Amino acid sequence: MKITVLGSGTSQGIPIVGCRCPACTSLNPKDKRLRVSVFIETDSIINNKPLRILIDTSPDFRQQMLVNNITDIDAVLYTHYHIDHIMGLDDIRQINQLHRKKVELFANKETAYRIKQTFSYIFDENTYKGGGIPHVNLNEIDLSPFDVFGQKVIPIEYKHGPTNVYGYRIGDFAYLTDCNFIPDTEFTKLKGLKVLIIDALRYRRHETHFSVDEAVEVSLRIGAEKTYFTHMTHDIVHDEASGKLPAGIEFAYDGLTFEV
């Protein structure tokens, strides 16, 4: 399968409006970070094409589709309900129009509840008159492995401060954003990974995200062949920060693609 990092930045995006720090004024494209999301073209085939799975609909979702030439999505897996992970949902409308199909959404109970609240116009059509709405099926999932058009997906539950977040394992790839504690029980689901993408917010400690040092420690314990960090703030200036990471660990950047 092929994975594309659509966004690797923290909730404000990088550059931050009005900030003149080295990362925010950097001319390196790897320091321009949209809000976090990944796009996966799996090995499963649906309607003679690879099954396409998106993780989260960031506020930059429309721009991310344009930049990466994404014109079809079959399913969206949601990690949690924070606004930087859901706000682009309305832009699923163009996928509906291009392909005359609904898009399947998957979210845990709390995230599904909040998506219904935040996007009430989608789920109660009688209150929203005259404007277009995305056509979606919102599937509530729990920690059991589930099937997305024949592709097995394994949820991994961890802490993001007070919030329980779902990461996902698909084959030998796992995506664990917005994370500051992984319970021992979940590490067993992460054995034998080829590629891991995991939260590493900044150098200083934070109450709801791994710092770079914490992310390095957890990544070495998980032991994927290759690890990429995501959800970075402007503390991280890509080229300078990259030299300080152990072998096998790198900072992701927008537009990064790899095969697993």
Q: Which residues bind Zn ion (CB under 5 A)?
A: 16, 19, 21, 24, 82, 84, 178, 234
Nearer to Zn ion, 40 or 179 (CB): 179
Cβ at position 24, least distance to Zn ion in Å: 3
Amino acid at 172: D
CA distance 11 to 13: 6
Nearer to Zn ion, 24 or 143 (CB): 24
Both tokens assigned to 99: 């392909």
CA distance 48 to 18: 47
Nearer to Zn ion, 91 or 178 (CB): 178
Nearer to Zn ion, 166 or 173 (CB): 166
* Interior/surface letters 195-206, b for 16+ CB within 10 angstroms, e for the rest: bbbbbbbbeeeb
Cβ at position 187, least distance to Zn ion in Å: 21
CA distance 123 to 108: 17
CA distance 110 to 219: 27
At 223 the three-state DSSP class reads coil
Contact 61, 36 (CB under 8 A): no
Half-sphere exposure for 178 (CA within 13 Å, toward CB): 25
CA distance 143 to 124: 28
Nearer to Zn ion, 224 or 237 (CB): 237
Cβ at position 23, least distance to Zn ion in Å: 5
Cβ at position 12, least distance to Zn ion in Å: 9
At 251 the three-state DSSP class reads strand
Nearer to Zn ion, 11 or 96 (CB): 11
Nearer to Zn ion, 41 or 199 (CB): 199
Cβ at position 197, least distance to Zn ion in Å: 13
A 10 A CB-CB count for 116 gives 14
Four-residue CA torsion sign, 99, 100, 106, 109: positive
Cβ at position 207, least distance to Zn ion in Å: 12
Cβ at position 19, least distance to Zn ion in Å: 3
Amino acid at 109: K
